[in-house]
Structure 1
């Protein structure tokens, strides 16, 4: 997502909730570890350390959840200012999980994929290249 925007990609898919995947993975792993430590006799000081990391991961995940609406609103203002147009016609849209953005609104064709848009952009570039 960020790499595509930074490289001026012709089509970008932004999934604001994708940032939660890391927090969910860490949260689940730490749940298993702390649960196992509680089930098996273990030093209380060691358990407290893992519980502290567990709590930090939980609060960081909650903060990430609260940022989802902020990211969604920010993209609606920022993306048009850098030359992208929202496209809700591509394959899999509209959905609440991601938003597609294209540089050229004529490439926003119902039922076509993001890869198709990138292929069209590549072909257009090759036609105009000397």
Structure 2
């Protein structure tokens, strides 16, 4: 009985601990695999390959709104805007590309890539992820 109560207390406070860690400057690491990829026309197929992200708070308020540094697949960190500590995060890795990443569950996330140039396009990736703080 004591074990069950302890597990319930730990599981209830774990998200709060993770949130406070991120607010204090710890980074969020997502190690993902793209399960499904959809194109602009809504055609979907099985996804390919990994998609890894490191999200580090830059200047955020208590709710997690503010700026973050997002590193994709060991690339160069890019400044992003975030609406909460779990997203959505929006950034432009190039002049004609916009990215939006949102953590959608304990082990899932959605990545949207949008071409913003003369011929707009979009790709949506539904991902399963390992999440760590």
Report the TM-score, using the length of structure 1 for normalisation: 0.27
* Larger gyration radius, structure 1 or structure 2: 1
Q: 1 or 2 for the larger relative contact order (CA 8 Å, sep ≥6)?
A: 1
Q: Which protein has the bigger helix share?
A: 1
Q: Which protein has the bigger strand share?
A: 2
Report the TM-score, using the length of structure 2 for normalisation: 0.26
